[in-house]
Structure 1
Amino acid sequence: MTPIVLAIACLLAVTFCYAAVCAGSPFGTCRKCNGFGFATTTDRKGRPKRGKHCRRCKGRGKRVRVGRWVFNRAQRIYREGTR
């Protein structure tokens, strides 16, 4: 096989695997707070303590994956266009 065909096959495999992950688990952990839902800070003695709510995930610790967000947006546009 030629290298171009092999590269296209690898990209298709990665795309289908990511689509399967988005379908099976549409939510991932928040990258800003590592899934805690809040920022960790330290007190004056150096012990970790709970900080403010994470603004990116609104304190839930989960976020919608990019692929699932695109799928949801496409579904919404299609649904509103066929009414």
Structure 2
Amino acid sequence: MDTPSLIASFLCFVLPPVTLCYAVSCAIWPWKACSTCHGTGRIKSPFGRVFRLCRRCDGTGRRIRIGRHVWNEYRRVHRDGTR
């Protein structure tokens, strides 16, 4: 087998199940921990005494996953286009 056909067979047989598993995981667990505050919702001051709310997640400690965000945008466009 030559290299291009090996790559093509990899993409045809491995990539769709991985994509399907990621889509299912985004449907089940749409949230992930915020990377800025590490899921706490708070950020320490430089001296470590005062906390403030994380701007990125608005103090919740959770952010929506990329796959779920893409799905939500797709549903919004579909909903607005069919009305």
Normalising to structure 1: TM-score of the pair? 0.81
Alignment counterpart, residue 13 of structure 2, candidates 9, 32, 42: 9
> How far apart are residue 65 of structure 1 and its match?
0.5
The percent of aligned pairs where both chains have the same amino acid is 39
Alignment counterpart, residue 27 of structure 1, candidates 31, 34, 54: 31
Normalising to structure 2: TM-score of the pair? 0.81
What is the CA–CA distance in structure 1 between the aligned matches of 2:36 and 2:17, rounded to whole Å?
Answer: 29
Number of equivalent positions: 79
Of Structure 1 and Structure 2, the greater strand share is in 1
CA deviations on 1:35-81 (whole Å, 9 max, x unpaired) are 000113475xxxx5552111000000001101100100110111111
What is the CA–CA distance in structure 1 between the aligned matches of 2:30 and 2:50, rounded to whole Å?
Answer: 27
Alignment counterpart, residue 39 of structure 1, candidates 43, 52, 59: 43
Q: What value does the CA root-mean-square deviation take over the aligned residues?
A: 1.9
Moved over 6 A (4+): none
Unpaired runs of 5+ in structure 2?
Answer: none
